[in-house]
Chains A and B, each alone.
Chain A
Amino acid sequence: AQKVTQAQTEISVVEKEDVTLDCVYETRDTTYYLFWYKQPPSGELVFLIRRNSFDEQNEISGRYSWNFQKSTSSFNFTITASQVVDSAVYFCALRVNYGGATNKLIFGTGTLLAVQP
């Protein structure tokens, strides 16, 4: 079964706090991709990162960092020194083969992050 679990429904932090959003995935495929998307109040999903299953290197992009661990099937996302503009729903997604559409994404239920000033 292919599945993405984001156990944290809602997180509230105060500005400048660090926050980690958890993502656990399930797949039997040996080749897969993991994604994080941000959905601000405007509704559009914004791509943040893609990671393939062969690359377990952690990645840092400004205040954002991602920790991919195949041993625990997790792909966690950390925001350092959070800001009010980080307030959004964050989705983790898994890309699997789906007939001919290898771009089918299986999404988690999302984590609503509220950053208070």
Chain B
Amino acid sequence: DGGITQSPKYLFRKEGQNVTLSCEQNLNHDAMYWYRQDPGQGLRLIYYSQIVNDFQKGDIAEGYSVSREKKESFPLTVTSAQKNPTAFYLCASSEFNEKLFFGSGTQLSVL
């Protein structure tokens, strides 16, 4: 089945720790995105990538980093600089200017 796989489903971060959220897609989409969802709020764009080896900051990139070494993979690292990391993180992909397909998300919590 084609789709987007996010792992893990739940992740816990200790103080000062960097954690990496995985996102893999087999839809052959060029563009990939990371969104953050907080309770009662809409989704906010963290980073996006339109092509391999290229990515751009979204609205709330501070404290996060990404890489795009392969077309199918777009991992997100939540660094220790992100002081309020507890949220639901959603990865998405799309063809150029087409609808977004979303993964099932990763819930990140702070220990």
Contact = CB atoms under 8 A, between A and B. Distances in A.
A57 B99 CA distance: 19
Interface in B30-68: 31, 33, 40-45, 48, 50, 56, 58
A113 to B, nearest CB: 15
Nearest to A46: B102
A44 B56 contact: no
Interface residues of B, number: 26
A50 B104 contact: no
B99 A35 contact: yes
B6 to A, nearest CB: 9
A58 B27 CA distance: 30
A42 B104 contact: yes
Given A99-B56, A105-B100, A43 B88 contact: yes
A18 B21 CA distance: 39
A5 B43 CA distance: 13
Nearest to B4: A44
B42 A108 contact: yes
A110 B50 contact: no
A102 interface: yes
B42 A103 contact: no
A100 B50 contact: yes
Interface of B: 31, 33, 40-45, 48, 50, 56, 58, 88, 90, 92, 94, 96-105
Given A44-B105, A101-B48, 13 more contacts: A9-B40, A35-B99, A42-B104, A43-B105, A45-B43, A45-B90, A47-B99, A93-B42, A101-B31, A103-B31, A103-B94, A103-B97, A105-B43
18 contacts: A35-B99, A37-B102, A44-B102, A45-B92, A45-B100, A45-B102, A47-B99, A47-B101, A50-B99, A100-B56, A103-B97, A103-B98, A105-B100, A107-B43, A109-B40, A109-B41, A110-B40, A110-B41
